[in-house]
Amino acid sequence: MGKQILVVDDARQTGALIADSLAGLGELSVAASPAAALQDLAELKPAIVLLSTELHAGDCHELCRIMRRARPDTRILFINHHAGESSEQARLDAYLAGADDYLGAPFNLEELQRKVELLLRINEDAERLQRSLQEANEVALLAISNTSEMGGVIDFIKRAMHCMDAESLLKALLSTLSSRFNLKAAAQVRLEGEQKTLNTEGRSSPLEAELLAKHAEEGARIFQYGHRLVVNYPGLIIQVKDLPLDDESYVGRLRDHLAIMVEAADHRLHGIRIEALNRQQSEMIQQSLRHLRDVIGILEQNYKLQQSSTMQLFDSMRYNLDPLLTSLGLSDQQERSILQHIDSTALDAAALYEAGLMLDNHFDGILAELSSLVAREVPAQTPQSADETSDILLF
């Protein structure tokens, strides 16, 4: 269907002639009076009005002003049939009355057609520009909204990295959904065979926990029913309770944002599990190091005691052997041989003792290194909750 064109002319022959000449350019209507013209203007909302001075010069200008106020977007072509009027003044009066173009006598129908075609193109260009402007505004608003929403997603991811336990992670997630997205939701984590459930209303119930656990067992990643949206990952599941279904584009973005946030939370849960295992292993290693240090210290003391006792035994044996040798009636050569043998053995024992001192140094180095490892032990980090309200109850 073409554009609506309204011809205002009370001379039936002239109006019919104009209408015939414009056939094919649009849907033509002819009004023979100002009242009929205003009624057609309101009902038909024409793209172009051809306003003829055959009505009367004064009435025609006033009618033009009324039409301009009523329909600012309608193009008005003022047609002057009075050849005796000054063309410059008549043209100026028409423009002052609100006309978009002027056609003065004498004129031919081909010129009229060209002017109407030009006004139609101008009208189409204006509509196209208006649509482009509206689309640009919508894109800009969407970009602004999406930037704000992504800011909420990024803010949650940053906060999630500082959560040291499942409870603080749940609070950070639900707090973001409530404050940044104005959503009501419930979430449940499953960590080391234990599950915790939390919601944005500050409470949770056994029924809610059971429902989330059932959805988690079904295994679907993302699914929606009515106003509810469920996003399910291996360690965490979340259910949004009040989707704004009147805004499909926003719901679509929410699905993407929630999937990113829940996946990030699921990865953080894995990190929390690994960190807990690392802390446990670190504590076991530190206990083993402390025990090993104590055992090496005991071995060192026992070794030093044994070395000292051995030397004392050799000294005592030589001291006690002198009178014994005298009573045996041995020759001097025999006594000297025995004593030399004892002295030689004592020297060998002393050499072993000196080697033991070197071993002591090794023991000291090992003890110093173990002591350093124990001293450098980083205390297990105490889980800290995020900066959320503590009145949210876990079930």
The alpha carbon torsion through 129, 131, 136, 138 (nearest 10 deg) reads 160
258, 160: one domain: yes
Predicted confidence at residue 360, as pLDDT, reads: 63
- For the chain, the average pLDDT equals 78
Dist. CA 42–CA 45, nearest whole Å = 6
153, 173: one domain: yes
User: What digits encode the pLDDT tens for the residues 160-187?
Assistant: 888 888 888 888 898 888 888 888 899 9
Domain count, the chain: 3
272, 223: one domain: yes
118, 24: one domain: yes
* Structural domain contains residue 384: no
- Compute the average pLDDT of residues 70-86: 81
Question: Does the pLDDT value for residue 212 go beyond 90?
Answer: no
Residue 211 structural domain: 143-276
The alpha carbon torsion through 63, 65, 69, 71 (nearest 10 deg) reads 60
Range list of β-strands (E), 12-140: 26-31, 48-52, 75-80, 101-104
Helix or strand or coil: residue 5? strand
Neighbours of 268 (CB within 10 A): 23
pTM of the model: 0.49
263, 147: one domain: yes
Predicted confidence at residue 68, as pLDDT, reads: 92
* Structural domain contains residue 386: no
* Structural domain contains residue 359: yes
Domain boundary among 209, 242, 276: 276
Report which secondary-structure segment, H or E, holds 199: strand 194-199
Cβ contact 168:385 at 8 Å:
yes
229, 155: one domain: yes
- How many helices and strands, by DSSP H and E, does the chain display? 9, 10
Question: Does the pLDDT value for residue 142 go beyond 70?
Answer: no
Distances in whole angstroms, Cα of residue 265 to Cα of each of 213, 328, 372: 17, 92, 37
* Structural domain contains residue 90: yes
Predicted confidence at residue 359, as pLDDT, reads: 64
User: What digits encode the pLDDT tens for the residues 339-375?
Assistant: 777 778 777 776 766 666 666 667 667 767 766 765 6
* Listed ranges 20-24, 94-98, 214-218; the one with the highest mean pLDDT: 94-98
Residues linked to residue 230 through DSSP beta bridges, in sequence order: 223, 239
21, 60: one domain: yes
Report which secondary-structure segment, H or E, holds 312: helix 248-327
- Give 214's pLDDT tier (boundaries 50, 70, 90): confident
- Lowest mean pLDDT, pick from 137-141, 246-250, 262-266: 137-141
262, 214: one domain: yes
Cβ contact 240:251 at 8 Å:
no
